[in-house]
């Protein structure tokens, strides 16, 4: 682990399964922390997620657990639970978990118990419905929260069924909020010399992603609807079919729309009362979308990209995963990497420090691969 990363010297114990807490630990590891991933003896559920696998575990597991020490502890076993308590008490600056509601207290891993003997410890709990309220004891997963928070009600085609976002935005978002809370608590600890309890949840994250929609509802009482690849409040701001594929065109203000009209050879659209302002275009969304679509369908994606980019209009093709991985911009950023040729290439930290991205971390280890290091780590602190 490079010693010049921001969290070098910070020790994290992560008792986790699935996605949200593992994503938290992954980010902290990429920032330089020493992360101990604690799994049950049968392993993290994500090890069995398919269909893509690599070296016996789901590719998703490797994406979420690089750069960690993997240890196996059965918290239902009294001696093994005692070892976990020692690891937290003697080594950890941060303890993060996404145990089922009530389980942390059952095993003495709740903040009140842990911080009673180690007040400087930062405890981060990632729950499903949140740590308060009538549903706080219920379990939950990403799709449930996209449904419950209303994300699915505004995702999909207007006349189609509600759709879940294709990536786990709630799981990863909760992990991001947990990291933000942990970093804030670490900063506060430098001055107040005390730890903190950080609570994050899937539902709170999902509601946070609905910030604009909820503000809009509170303003006019309209719950919003589905607009396919577009959005409720800007037109044009969606995907259109070109002759050989789809591309997204975004004009977030009237000046950009006027430039789009010029580039498409239809300057009269910008002077048309139906389309001159964003408000007018919202009222006549179907008409302007049809006109733009008919024009773009006459040429290829590459043709329109070159023309519209030259005019300063935001435009991007809808790419497959293969196209994203192969694109020269992705390669130039170096965001997909691996520490050696025989390891799986995964996405790294989407941050750079002084122009440099933290280097790729070692691959996720097998279940319990680092069990022998626990004793050494504890002895080293005696």
The string of pLDDT tens digits covering residues 214-258 is: 999 899 998 888 899 998 899 999 999 999 999 999 999 999 999
How far is C-alpha 125 from the geometric centre of its chain's CA atoms? 17
pLDDT at 343: 85
pLDDT at 1: 52
pLDDT at 375: 84
Catalytic residue flag (residue 171): yes
Q: In terms of C-beta density within 10 A (0-12 exposed, 13-18 middle, 19 or more buried), how is residue 116 classed? A: exposed
Q: pLDDT below 70 — which residues of the chain? A: 1-3, 380-382
Q: pLDDT by residue (tens digit) across 148-160?
A: 999 999 999 988 9
Domain(s) labelled CATH 3.30.1540.10 in the chain stretch across 237-319
Sign of CA pseudo-dihedral 274, 277, 280, 285: positive
pLDDT at 15: 96
Phi, psi of 337 (to 5 degrees): -150, 175
Domain(s) labelled CATH 3.40.50.10540 in the chain stretch across 11-209+333-380
Q: What is the pTM of this model?
A: 0.91
pLDDT at 23: 96
pLDDT at 193: 81
Q: For residue 87, what are the CA distances in angstroms to 35, 83, 322? A: 12, 6, 42
CATH of segment(s) 237-319: 3.30.1540.10
Which listed residue (44, 171, 220, 342) is catalytic? 171
Domain 11-209+333-380: which CATH class? alpha beta
pLDDT at 80: 95
Distance (Å, rounded) from C-alpha 78 to C-alpha 175? Answer: 29
Distance (Å, rounded) from C-alpha 109 to C-alpha 256? Answer: 55
């Amino acid at each position: 682990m490079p010693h010049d990363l921001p969290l070098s010297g910070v020790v994290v114990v992560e008792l986790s399964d699935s996605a949200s807490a593992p994503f938290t630990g992954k980010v902290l590891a990429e920032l330089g922390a020493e992360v101990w991933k604690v799994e049950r003896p049968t392993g993290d559920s994500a090890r069995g997620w398919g269909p893509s696998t690599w070296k016996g575990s789901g590719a998703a597991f490797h994406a979420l657990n690089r750069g960690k020490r993997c240890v196996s502890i059965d918290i239902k076993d009294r001696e093994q639970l005692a070892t976990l308590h020692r690891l937290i008490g003697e080594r950890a600056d941060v303890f993060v978990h996404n145990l089922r509601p009530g389980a942390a207290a059952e095993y003495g891993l709740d903040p009140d118990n842990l911080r009673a003997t180690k007040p400087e410890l930062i405890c981060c709990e990632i729950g499903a419905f949140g740590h308060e309220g009538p549903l706080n004891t219920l379990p939950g997963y990403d799709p449930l929260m996209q449904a419950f928070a209303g994300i699915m009600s505004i995702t999909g085609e207007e006349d189609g069924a509600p759709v879940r976002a294709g990536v786990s935005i709630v799981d990863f978002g909760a992990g991001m909020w947990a990291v933000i809370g942990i970093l804030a608590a670490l900063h506060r600890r430098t001055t107040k010399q005390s730890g903190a309890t950080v609570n994050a949840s899937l539902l709170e994250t999902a509601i946070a992603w609905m910030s604009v929609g909820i503000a809009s509802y509170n303003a006019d009482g309209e719950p919003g609807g589905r607009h396919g690849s577009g959005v409720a409040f800007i037109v044009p701001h969606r995907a259109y079919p070109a002759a050989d594929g789809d591309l997204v065109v975004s004009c977030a203000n009237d000046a950009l729309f006027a430039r789009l009209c010029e580039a498409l050879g239809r300057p009269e659209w910008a002077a048309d009362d139906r389309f001159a302002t964003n408000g007018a275009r919202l009222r006549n969304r179907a008409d302007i979308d049809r006109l733009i679509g008919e024009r773009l369908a006459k040429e290829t994606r590459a043709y329109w990209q070159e023309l519209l980019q030259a005019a300063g209009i935001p435009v991007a093709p809808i790419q497959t995963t293969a196209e994203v991985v192969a694109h020269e911009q992705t390669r130039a950023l170096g965001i997909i990497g691996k520490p050696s040729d025989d390891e799986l290439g995964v996405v790294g930290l989407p941050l750079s420090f002084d122009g440099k991205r933290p280097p790729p971390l070692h691959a996720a280890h097998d279940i319990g691969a680092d069990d022998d290091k626990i004793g050494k780590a504890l002895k080293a602190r005696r």
